[in-house]
Structures are given as structure tokens and as C-alpha cells.
């Protein structure tokens, strides 16, 4: 993911856009016109042209309140992460299956790609033969 422009540049660009046209400021600082418009709007609205935080903060998952239920429910035979997402949706909690997987991974679960087949055996055993 690309990094944000520095707050110093954002502040200087937004301040220059107060008394000059956005296109002129964009060419002067070497940024896009859209960036000049957004930064100047943010400066007027909040008093700062600083970038917003990217991503989520650690420990802020919606699933933490349901962690014990999820860990107990995943033990059911044949239960999948996508099935858990459906059950959570029925309970009124809308999350992606990736969020559930991240919680499970943090709890020590891992994904092993070693499916046992009736005739051929596991993929690992077939590779050794």
C-alpha cells in the first residue's frame, strides 16, 4: 500500500490553495488537483489537512465480544469459517469471513492443506511415494 504524503506537504498545499487556483497549486507542488481539493476541504472542515488513519486499530474487532462463542462453535464437525459468517449474520453481526479467520488465527488455529482422500491418501503421502 502506498504511503501517505507528509503532513507538512499537505498543510502547505492546503494553505496555498486558499488564495490560488487548485490547478496552479497542483502544478506548483507536483500533486494531483484532486489531492489539492481534498486537502483544502479537510483543512476547512477540521482545521488540519493531516491524513486519516489507515486500517483498524489492534483490538478493535467487532468479534472480540463473540470470541468464546466462535471458538466453541468452530469445534463442531464440518464447521467452516464461511458457515460461521452465515451464523453470525443470522445473529445480526455482519462481518467478512476474513475477519473470522484473523480471530481464529490469533487464537492459534492454522490451515493445513493435507486433505485425506479415501483411495489416494493424503497429498503428502502421495508425494513421498
| pLDDT (tens digit per residue) in 29-82 | 999 999 999 999 999 999 999 988 776 666 677 888 888 998 898 888 888 889
Look at residues 68, 108, 73 and name the one whose alpha carbon lies nearest to residue 90: 73
Q: What is the pLDDT of residue 108?
A: 86
CB 61 within 8 A of CB 42: no
Q: At what angle do helices 22-29 and 33-46 cross, to 10 degrees?
A: 110
pTM of the model: 0.48
Say how far apart CA 36 and CA 49 lie, in whole Å.
10
- Predicted confidence band at 93 (pLDDT cuts at 50, 70, 90)? confident
Candidate from 2-11, 18-27, 34-43, 60-69 with smallest mean pLDDT = 60-69
Q: What is the pLDDT of residue 117?
A: 53
Cell readout for 91 is 445473529
Amino acid at each position: 500500500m502506498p504511503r501517505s504524503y507528509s503532513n507538512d506537504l499537505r498543510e502547505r498545499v492546503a494553505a496555498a490553495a486558499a488564495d490560488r487556483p487548485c490547478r496552479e497549486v497542483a502544478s506548483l507542488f507536483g500533486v494531483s488537483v484532486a489531492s489539492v481539493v481534498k486537502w483544502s476541504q479537510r483543512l476547512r472542515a477540521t482545521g488540519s489537512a493531516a491524513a486519516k488513519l489507515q486500517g483498524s486499530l489492534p483490538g478493535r474487532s467487532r468479534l472480540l465480544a463473540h470470541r468464546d462463542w466462535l471458538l466453541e462453535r468452530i469445534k463442531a464437525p464440518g464447521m467452516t469459517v464461511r458457515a460461521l459468517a452465515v451464523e453470525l449474520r443470522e445473529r445480526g453481526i455482519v462481518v467478512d469471513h476474513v475477519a473470522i479467520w484473523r480471530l481464529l488465527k490469533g487464537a492459534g488455529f492454522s490451515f493445513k492443506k493435507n486433505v485425506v482422500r479415501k483411495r489416494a491418501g493424503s497429498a503428502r503421502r502421495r508425494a513421498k511415494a
